Amino acid sequence: MPDATRPADTDVLPGPRRPRPPRVVHFEISLRTIGLVLATMAAVWLFIRLWTVVLMVIFALVLVGTLNPLVGALERRGLRRGWAVLLILLGSLIVTSLLALLTLPPLFDQLLELLEAAPAKRDLLIEWLLQRPLTAPLAELVRDSGSGEAFTALGSSLLDYSSQGALVIGYAATSVMLAFYILADIQRARGSIYTIMPRRYHVRLARILIELEIIVGGYVRGQLITSAAIALFTLGLLSICQVPNALPLAVFAGLTDVIPFVGGLLATAPAVLGAMSVSTTVALIVLATMIMYQEFESRILVPRIYGRVLRLSAATVILALLIGGTLLGILGAFLALPLAAGLMMVLRELRVEMPGDDRHDLDLHARDAQDERTYQQLSAGARPQEAAEIAADMARASREVAALETAIDPKATTKSGPARTV
């Protein structure tokens, strides 16, 4: 029965609606989120302020990954680790000193001779252009180009760059000494990393460290092979053409070959300038031959040497080199490929799912969980250094199983992705 004291709905007269109260949205941010944001900002600020130190540490770690297998080989032959590291250090110093003595003085002398002879060469070029009606206008361009002042400015710029070169050499020497300190007591350094990492990630960390050593060591050893190849080729070419200072020019070509993209130009320019002292024809022959060798190296030699170690596509290689060279110059271009390959490997080992990849390999996750349980049992109560050894042994055993499965079935995939032989 309807309420008599309340008017019927049909008797309610229409009127203006009352405005609704504003809706209040509450955002609650936890202290943990605030802490993560502040920590990220602090890390970015520290990286910007200490990027030189970060680069030195990265370069030192690259040296560690390159030389650690050699130190291990000497240890297996009965030599103590300290003596093995000292032997490698002395050998590296001797080789570096010999290369510097063979290369730098003749190159500086040749550059000074070029700068001193530049005005006379410029006058001869102007006279040669004036003798022909078609090239006479070019003579005026050469005369008005200010090339004489440019060579003078180049000489003064070399003096300015020499101080920067000394600073770079100081940074490189510091990185080398840091690398050898880490090599001398690598167990403690490895234990420090395992101390700050939760134990459930130790097995994956061991796999990552082993793969990083393979990637970095393989890249540097491959770079040594390509550098030695271009040095021997340049030495043979310049010796056949009877170009003076063939040995230092060949050593310089090998040293500059480590720089992607511009390394070939840096190796070719001094060789061509040295060949010009013989004749223009010889200089053209040297130029054409060096270009042909660089095409052979980039298209045939480099893919065969780096393809199985880095496992990067051509587009990824070019993009990594452009980013590294733009951000950090020559050093960035040198470190771009191992860093890119290492990043891809870390993402793969951590089972990070890419947005465009919807595959879910349950077997891999099950094997990871089983390995973590086994490691927890084996490393219970162990010190960080002992736990690091246990995790490393498990990672090496996993690689051996992967290699065996690949030998039986090349299409087999293991917990670390497609098995491969390095």
| pLDDT for 420 | 39
Q: Give domain status of residue 278, yes or no.
A: yes
- pLDDT for the residue numbered 406: 63
The distance of Cα 259 from the centroid of its chain, to the nearest Å, equals 10
DSSP characters over 89-144: HHHHHHHHHHHHHHHHHHHHHHHHHHHHHHHHHHHHHHHHHHTSTTTHHHHHHHHH
- Token digits of residue 245: 């200072």
Task: Determine what percent of the chain is predicted with pLDDT higher than 70.
Answer: 72
Per-residue pLDDT band for 217 (boundaries 50, 70, 90) equals confident
Q: Mean pLDDT check: name the lowest of 41-50, 105-114, 267-276, 330-339.
A: 105-114
Q: Which residues contact 419 (CB under 8 A, 6 or more apart)?
A: 402, 403, 405, 406, 412, 413
10 Å Cβ neighbour count for 100? 13
- Does residue 209 lie within any of the structural domains? yes
Q: Flag whether 226 is in a domain.
A: yes
Whether residue 308 is contained in a domain is answered as yes
Is residue 253 included in any domain, yes or no? Answer: yes
Range(s) of the domain holding residue 286 = 201-352
- Residue 149's pLDDT is 54
339 within a domain of the structure (yes/no)? yes
pLDDT tens-digit series, residues 237-282: 989 988 887 888 888 888 888 776 677 778 888 888 788 778 778 8
131 in any annotated domain: no
Pairing, β 413-414 against β 417-418: antiparallel
pTM to 2 decimal places:
0.66
Q: How far apart are CA 227 and CA 147, in angstroms?
A: 34
Number of structural domains found in the chain: 1
In a domain, 144, yes or no: no
Confidence category of residue 60, pLDDT binned at 50, 70, 90 = confident
The per-residue pLDDT for 307 is 62
Summarize the confidence of residues 86-105 as an average pLDDT: 84
- What is the Cα–Cα distance from 257 to 276, expressed in whole angstroms? 22
Q: Is the pLDDT of residue 136 over 60?
A: yes
Q: What is the pLDDT of residues 11-53, one digit of tens each?
A: 445 555 666 766 766 666 777 788 888 888 888 888 788 888 8
